[in-house]
Structure 1
Amino acid sequence: MSRLKFLQIALFAFGVVFCLVYPLAIIWPSGWAWHDGPPTASHYFMMIVGIYATLGLFLIRASRDPLAHRSLIEFTIWSSIVHALIMAVQSYSPGAHMGHMLGDVPALLLVAAVLGGLTYGAANDG
C-alpha cells in the first residue's frame, strides 16, 4: 500500500476522532476535559469541540485528495504541535489535570507525527 493511501486512511481516521472530542471527554474527562463537571459546563470546551468537529469534517473531506489539501494538513500538523506544547506546559500548573499528559497531549503529537510523515513522504513519492 502506498504512503498516499495510508495518508488517506489517516486523514479519515483522525477526522473521525476529531469529530468525537465531546464523547471522549465524557468517557475520559481527566484526559480530554480541562474542567470539572459535564462537558457542557464549560463554554471554552464547547468552543473547542466545535472547532475540532469542523476540522474533523474537513479532514475527512481532504482524505479523498490529500495532496490538493496540503495547506489544511499542514495547519493540522502545526496547530496540533502548538496545542500539545501549550497543554503540556499548562498541565504542570497548580490545580491542572495531569491526565492530559496521558490523553490529549500525546494524541495531538501522534496526529502531527503521522500526518507529517505521511504527507511529506507522499509528496516526495509523486
Structure 2
Amino acid sequence: MCVLAMCFDETMSLHRVRQIVVGGIGCFYLCLIYPLFVDLHHSRWLIEMHNQECDPMFISFFIALGLFLVIAARRPEQHRLMINFAAYQSLFHCAVMTVMTVEAARNGTPRQIADVVITAVIGVVLLALTPRGATPQGDEGKRPQVSAGSSPAPPL
C-alpha cells in the first residue's frame, strides 16, 4: 500500500513513477524463475503436465523480458521500444488467453480468468506510462556534419 501512496504523490515526477512501475513489472517477471526451477527440477512438465514442454520455455521468455524491463527501468525514456514491446506482448498474450478462456467455457472446461486480467492490466499500464516524444540525449540523435568536398556515407 505504501508503494501505491508513493506513486500518486503529487511531488513525485512521472519519470520516477515510470521507473517504479517498469522495474516492478520486471521484478514480477523475474520472480517466475522459481516456478521454472521447480518445473525443471522435478520434471513436472514431463510427468504431471503430460509432456507440456512449452510451459518452461514460455516462462523462460517472461524471465528474459523481466531482466530487460529491470534494465529499462533505470532510464525509461531511452528504452521506449522495450517498454512498448512488453506492453504489446502482454496485450497480445491477453487476447490469446481470452480466446482460450471463451473456448474452454464453451466446451465445459473450467478456466480461471485471473491471468487474463493480470496481463491486460500490465499491458495497459505499460502503454500508459511509455514515454512519448522524448529524444535521446547525447550524440545519438545528432547527424554527422558533411564538409563541402566530401560525400556523405551511404546508409547501412
TM-score (structure 1 length as normaliser): 0.75
Paired residues for 1:47-58 under 5 Å: 47-58=57-68
Aligned partner of 1:42 among 52, 68, 92: 52
Indicate the residue corresponding to 1:117 in structure 2. Answer: 128
* Structure with greater Cα Rg: 2
Cα distance in 2, alignment partners of residues 21 and 95 from structure 1: 29
Q: What is the RMSD of the two structures over their aligned residues, measured on CA atoms?
A: 2.7
**What's the CA shift for 1:118?**
1.5
In the aligned structure 1, how far is the partner of 2:81 from the partner of 2:68? Answer: 12
**Contact 2:23/2:70 (CA < 8 Å) preserved in 1?**
yes
| Partner in structure 1 of residue 111 of structure 2 | 98
Q: Is the 8 A contact 2:22 2:70 kept in 1?
A: yes
Query: Mind listing any 5+ residue stretches in structure 1 that lack a counterpart?
Result: 26-35
Which stretches of structure 1, 4 residues or more, deviate above 4 A after TM superposition? 22-25
Specify whether residues 70 and 96 from structure 1 end up closer, same or farther in structure 2 by C-alpha distance, changes over 3 A only.
farther
Q: Provide structure 2 residue ranges, at least 5 long, that are not aligned to the other structure.
A: 1-11, 37-46, 136-156
The CA distance in 2 between the partners of 1:17 and 1:96, in whole Å, is 29
Q: Which residue of 1 aligns with 2:74?
A: 64
Asked if residue 83 in structure 1 is aligned to residue 93 in structure 2, the reply is: yes
TM-score of the pair, normalised by structure 2: 0.62
Checking the alignment, whether the CA contact within 8 Å between 1:80 and 1:111 is kept in structure 2 is yes
Is the 1:4–1:118 Cα contact (8 Å) retained in structure 2? Answer: no
